[in-house]
Structure formats: C-alpha cells, structure tokens
Structure 1
Amino acid sequence: MSIMRRTSTSPSPSPASAERGRPREFDIDSVTKAAGRVFWEQGYHATSIETLCKSTGLFRASLYSTFGDKHGLLVAAFDQYAEGAVGRLKERLEENGSPHDALRQALLHYTKVSTSLSRRHGCFITNAAIELLPADEALRPHIEATLRRIAAYLAAAVIRGQQAGEFNSTLDEQAVTTFLLCVIQGFRVLGKLSFGENDLVPVVDMTMRALI
C-alpha cells in the first residue's frame, strides 16, 4: 500500500492568493504518475515543460523546485512505473501452482497488453531505453537495475520449473532468462506496430516448448 506524500511549494499563501491559484500542496505520487503518462506516450525529447505543467496541473516553478528539472521528473516517473511493472510481473510468476503455467500466463499477458489499442505506445521501460540509451548516463543505472530485477524474477521462475520437473534441468537459467527477456521486450516493440495478439501467442507457445 503506497503512502500519500505531500509537499508544499511555498509558505502558506494569503487567503486572497489561495483563492486565485491552485492549492500549494500536492500529491507527489499523483504528479509523478501524470508526468510519466506523458513521457510514456510522447517520449522524453518530444515532451515540453508546458505539456508537463498542463498534465500535472502545476506551475513550472513547482515542478523545478520538487524534481530539479525535466530530467529529474523523468527519472522519478520511470522509477515509479518500473516499480509497479516489476512488482506485477513478480506476482504473476508466483501466483500459479505450476511454474510452467505461471510463466506462460505472464507471457500471454504481455501479448495482450502490448497489442491493446490503448497501449500501442509500448512500454515505458523499453521506450526509454531505445530513445535515451546509451547517451543518458543518469538514467542508465535505473534502466539496468530494472532489467536486472526482471531477469532475477524470470530466473527464479525457471529454477522453480526445473525443480518441479516442468522445465529441462540441463538448461542454463542465465541464458534462458536472457532469452525470455528478449521475448518480452520484443513483444513490447512489435505491439507498437501492426502485430495483433493472435500473431504473438504462437511465439509464447514456441517459447514454452523451448524450455521443456
């Protein structure tokens, strides 16, 4: 359960100024989520400060005083998105009694969300990596840490499957994990094109056969 964090951008305003402007206090998590949505859909370079102010409902000075600059807001938004995305993947991989079925359902989830009409803007993590790496040295460790967490959960799922006798015990979990990471990121990229869910489901079936 997230804890609402609030911040104040200035000393308490007079009653008159409070009536003229928006309240000085705001929920950082909500602002970060709103900004993240814009970065996710438009990309970093195509997003202006004016657009961010409009999407968050804050003034430029408020954004700068809270996040430092546009890039600081991007990093905060990325971390928030990544935390949720990685957490949901972990839950899917662990929620089914069968490691094989849990992994398959997790992959099928990616085929669905990647090709949804409302999600054609792709994955924030993938988009940020494609647009900003390798040049963005400040964001790089955040992306790499996120991918390492995803890889760790995938590796754990593979090991559980091997221990349960559902996956080939001779498979190298590190190589398989990299393979699965490539499959997932491929879904996210192809989903931005004309590929539909029915085009990607057979890839899930082929992937699962490769693990047996």
Structure 2
Amino acid sequence: MPRPREFDEEAALDAAMAQFWSHGYEATSVRDLATTMGLTSASLYNAFGDKRTLYERALERYVERGFRDRVRRFEHHMPPRDAIGAFFDEIIQLSVGDPHRKGCLIVNSAMELAPHDKQFHRALNGVLKDIEGFFQRCVSAGQKDGTISSDLDTADMAKTLLASLMGLRVLARVNPQRALLEGAARPVLAMIGVNPNARRARRRI
C-alpha cells in the first residue's frame, strides 16, 4: 500500500504559490520551491510533478481563492452594479495593502509566460474570459433591473471593465497609491454609475 503523505499538501501548495507570486516562474528553481515548501526535491516531484505542473496548480489555486471567491461573494449576494463596484474596491484595497508589490499572479503570468507558451496562453485566456464573463453577466443584470444604462453595449462594457482591471493591477506594481488607482478606475466605473469614493465613505459610516 502507498504510504500516506507526511506533510500538509494544502500548506505546501500555498508556499509554492507564494514563491512563484513573489519571484516569477523562471527565477524560481525547484530547489527554491523545495526549501519554501519544506520538502525534499524528490518529495516535491512525487507529490506535485515537475515545476511546470506545480505552477499550473499554484495558479489555479490563486484563481480559485481570488477571482472565483469574489464571484461567489459578490455576484450571488449583491445587486449587479454593486458587485462590480465591490470587485474593483477589493482589488484596489489588496493592491494598496501589498507592501511587496507582488501584483496579480494572473497578470504576472500573462506577461512572463503567455507570449511564448501556447499552453499557458490558452489557460490564461480562459481565466480572462471568465473574468470578462462575470462583468458581462453583472452589466446585463444591471441593465435588466434598471441600475445600469441600457445604452451601453453589454459585451463592450465587459471588455472595458476587464481592461481597466488588468491595467490597475499593472499600475499598482509601480505605484500602489489609493488616490491613483481610484482615479484610474473612477471614469470607467462612472459609466455604470459606481463612485469608488462614495463606497469608501459608506464603509466609514
């Protein structure tokens, strides 16, 4: 019978995600990963496969804990326009509160790996399509309940929100200042009637 694993697989995967997130794919060696995860190289390979496979699992974990968690919390428990505002609000808060300026692992992967790796390109394109789909569903639902103007093209607005979100994440790596990020998001969110400053004021009340 195979021996049970003598380590916390979830904690080890979190450690790998943190290593890739901080240092990138190419700059992270298997030795770095083994040290960070508290494993031998042999145990790492046995449990997670090669470096590429581990990166794919770490990225999927990041997406699940980040984007998909926000969808569950916001889309299914808030009015659609508020869900979009909350999504941007949380991204700005995370960016401002990141002292190491790690940015977004999705964006980091898109910049480092997607241009020259077809498999990662397809995987990341799927994630971006999912984010765009979230925005499109929210815009469409907001148009139906009257909180978002029906004059806006639903698909185009979803793409605009996606582009703004990705731009914010890149900008935050250089200058994660709240005023700058909110100012960059404000014109786009105003198109659907969201005021980031008003949201922050309501939280203080």
For residues 11 and 84 of structure 1, what CA distance do their matches in structure 2 show?
A: 30
Superposition pairs for residues 26-37 of structure 1, below 5 Å?
Answer: 26-37=7-18
For residues 100 and 74 of structure 2, what CA distance do their matches in structure 1 show?
A: 19
Which residue number in structure 2 is paired with residue 73 of structure 1?
54
- What is the CA-CA distance between 1:199 and the residue it aligns to? 1.2
Q: Deviations over 1:25-58 (max 9, x none)?
A: 2233222111011000100011111110111011
Equivalent position to 2:23, from 42, 47, 52: 42
1:86–1:146: 8 Å Cα contact kept in structure 2? no
Aligned pair in 2 of structure 1 residues 119, 107: CA closer, same or farther (>3 Å)?
farther
- What is the CA-CA distance between 1:24 and the residue it aligns to? 4.7
Equivalent position to 2:177, from 167, 173, 196: 196
- What is the CA-CA distance between 1:11 and the residue it aligns to? 5.4
Q: Deviations over 1:78-105 (max 9, x none)?
A: 1111112122221223332x32222212
Relative to the length of structure 1, the TM-score reads 0.83
SS of the aligned residue for 1:117 comes to coil
2:139–2:154: 8 Å Cα contact kept in structure 1? yes
For residues 108 and 127 of structure 1, what CA distance do their matches in structure 2 show?
A: 20
Over alpha carbons, which structure has the higher Rg?
1
For residues 54 and 9 of structure 2, what CA distance do their matches in structure 1 show?
A: 11
AA aligned to 1:173 is T
Q: Which runs of 4+ in 1 moved over 6 A?
A: none
- What is the CA-CA distance between 1:119 and the residue it aligns to? 5.3
- What is the CA-CA distance between 1:198 and the residue it aligns to? 1.4
- What is the CA-CA distance between 1:70 and the residue it aligns to? 0.8
AA aligned to 1:34 is A
2:81–2:192: 8 Å Cα contact kept in structure 1? no
Which residue number in structure 2 is paired with residue 175 of structure 1?
156
- What is the CA-CA distance between 1:204 and the residue it aligns to? 2.9
For residues 60 and 28 of structure 2, what CA distance do their matches in structure 1 show?
A: 18
1:115–1:192: 8 Å Cα contact kept in structure 2? no
Aligned residue pairs total 192
Q: Deviations over 1:55-79 (max 9, x none)?
A: 1011101111222211111011111
1:123–1:188: 8 Å Cα contact kept in structure 2? yes
1:35–1:52: 8 Å Cα contact kept in structure 2? yes
- What is the CA-CA distance between 1:160 and the residue it aligns to? 1.2
Relative to the length of structure 2, the TM-score reads 0.86
Higher helix share: 2
Using the TM superposition, name which of 146-155 and 33-42 deviates more: 146-155
For residues 100 and 69 of structure 1, what CA distance do their matches in structure 2 show?
A: 42
